[in-house]
Amino acid sequence: MSVKLLLTWDIAPEREQEYFEFVIGEFIPGVQRLGLEPVEAWATIYGEYPQIMVALLAPDLPGAQRVLNSLEWNGLREKLQTFVKNYSHKVVPGRGGFQF
């Protein structure tokens, strides 16, 4: 059964340009190399919610856990965290549509 890795964060205001360059040039290709499929990306326009939410699809829970324990994932996550604040992630059963 597929699972989704849900990531949320707020972009650090002083790092916006570098953030977008990193996400497009390194983060998305990196998660794809790890076997995750980017399936959703949401931006909060108004309200007290995380600014960004990304959903990555993994084929199953053991596959998601392998990715989360990998050196490459840790490197991507650590670099992402230089551009964002309030980062969090969780793994949930994959369903169609928005999941939070």
pLDDT digits (tens, 9 = 90+) for 46-63: 888 999 999 999 999 999
pLDDT digits (tens, 9 = 90+) for 49-100: 999 999 999 999 999 999 999 999 999 999 999 999 999 999 998 877 665 6
Rounded-to-5 percentages of helix, strand, coil across the chain: 40, 35, 30
Domains of the chain: 3-89 (3.30.70.100)
pTM of the full structure:
0.89
**Is residue 55 within 8 Å of residue 99, measured between CB atoms?**
yes
Q: What is the dihedral of CA 95, 21, 46, 39, to 10 degrees?
A: -10
Residues 6+ apart with CB under 8 A from 73: 31, 34, 67
In this prediction, residue 11 has a pLDDT band, given cuts at 50, 70 and 90, of very high
Residue 1: what pLDDT?
A: 86
**Is residue 81 within 8 Å of residue 15, measured between CB atoms?**
no
